[in-house]
Amino acid sequence: MPSRLARALAPLAEALAAAAVLVARVAAGRSLSAQWERIALDGTESAPAARGALADLCYGTLRRYGRSRAIVAALSRRAGAADPLVEALLWCALYAIDSGRYADYTVVDQAARACASIQRLGAKGYVNAVLRGYLRMGPALAARLAADPVAKFQHPDWWIERVRAAHPAQWQQVLTAGNTHPPMCLRVNTRRISADACAAQLAADGIRTRCIGPSALLLEKPVPVDRLPGFASGLFSVQDAGAQRAAGLLDLHAGQLVLDACAAPGGKSAHILESADVSLTALDIDAARCAEVSRNLARLGLAAAVRVADCSSADVWSNGPGYDRILADVPCSASGVARRHPDMKWLRRVADIEAFARRQALIVDALWRALAAGGKLLYVTCSVFAEENEAVIDAFAARAPDVRRARLADGGPAHLLPCAEHDGFYFALLEKPA
């Protein structure tokens, strides 16, 4: 079990062994984040560093999964079915080599030693041979890997084709961004402190930031939340700069009735309340996540009516048309934030996108009935797939002839494609006639 393997993560061998167990489970269809939450590391001073080493191996390996899998397939000379755990160990070791954090010979030696920890002692020679073969033949493999789209772009074939169709001029940019480390951005609670004053306070603690929006501070490098002075007291929240766009597009005014229909974990709800004196209702279908919304609002000194409800069943929770503004940050494939969850690229299936689109259509239909005359509904996804974006809105407009597609107030595009400053999002503003 990874919890036992992780007890002594200082040696690279143990870190590789623990990572291999987790990555093998992802390859078998299990979520990395769900497993990660269950890992119990020792409460010693070395635990944070150990956790960081394990996270780097797991997330780094999954970002390069398509490439590593192709390399092992090219170099393996074993007959018969592959051992999933040994394969995963090799993928992790290949990432460790390519990361440049360790000497090549160290990775080869430690990966062979890791075979004992995963109870695959007989695979030691095979692991050694594949890794040494990679060090010897790596340059010769380059052309072969470049000709394999999955190995080159590190995404499944179907994902690549959908991105290419949706963004013909920028598809490679989108895929490349999906393999990078995500940025870390703060949203300043301007009810308590200005962005400039917050940046100065962080700088005094050695944390350098750059202002990239009215209340958005991009960190020069990620920092653990518990090391950010002012977070616990509600001076700011961690929120991607792209996600921060939503509140500004809602055209908020004091006294409005506002609904955040898919509110958890509460970042956009908080931003709405920081932006204007409105009466906010925050819904989420999951009770535990509603509790998280309430905690986040309390930390910031904000208040809303937080309710557990399925927003697609407006007849249950709504008193009829009455909301001046509705934010529909709908459940989606999260393909625009894939770099934050690299396992997701390999766990998603084409059928998932179709299911999300059906769910999104139900949500928009329900929320439209709860929108007051003259009101505005902002549809948001963190997807780069057209099936969840334009296709959903176009189909809704065909079903609702009274809908008007309004211009986005900031004059920006409907799509924010993932880049060094923000993740990928889609925005569509719908207005109901007065």
Q: What amino acid positions are annotated as catalytic residues?
A: 382
Contact 129, 32 (CB under 8 A): no
Interatomic CA distance for residues 233 and 237, integer angstroms = 10
Contact partners, residue 141, CB within 8 Å, separation at least 6: 71, 74, 75, 134
Interatomic CA distance for residues 100 and 365, integer angstroms: 51
| CA distances (Å), origin 205, targets 209, 225, 319 | 11, 14, 49
Bridge pairing between strands 371-381 and 425-431: antiparallel
Cα torsion 30, 34, 39, 45: sign: positive
CA distance readout (Å), 240 to 138, 164, 174, 183, 376:
37, 24, 17, 8, 23
The Cα 391–Cα 385 span in angstroms is 9
Give residues with Cβ within 8 angstroms of 411, minimum separation 6: none
Which residues are bridge partners to 427 per DSSP? 380
Task: Give alpha helix (H) positions in 276-371.
Answer: 287-299, 314-317, 344-347, 350-370
C-beta pairs of 221-226 under 8 Å, 24+ apart in sequence: 221/184, 222/181, 222/184, 223/184, 224/48
Give the C-alpha separation, 21 to 26, whole Å: 9
Q: 260: Cβ–Cβ under 8 A, 6 or more apart, which residues? A: 268, 269, 272, 280, 281, 282, 283, 304, 327, 329
Q: Which DSSP string corresponds to 217-228? A: EEESS---GGGS
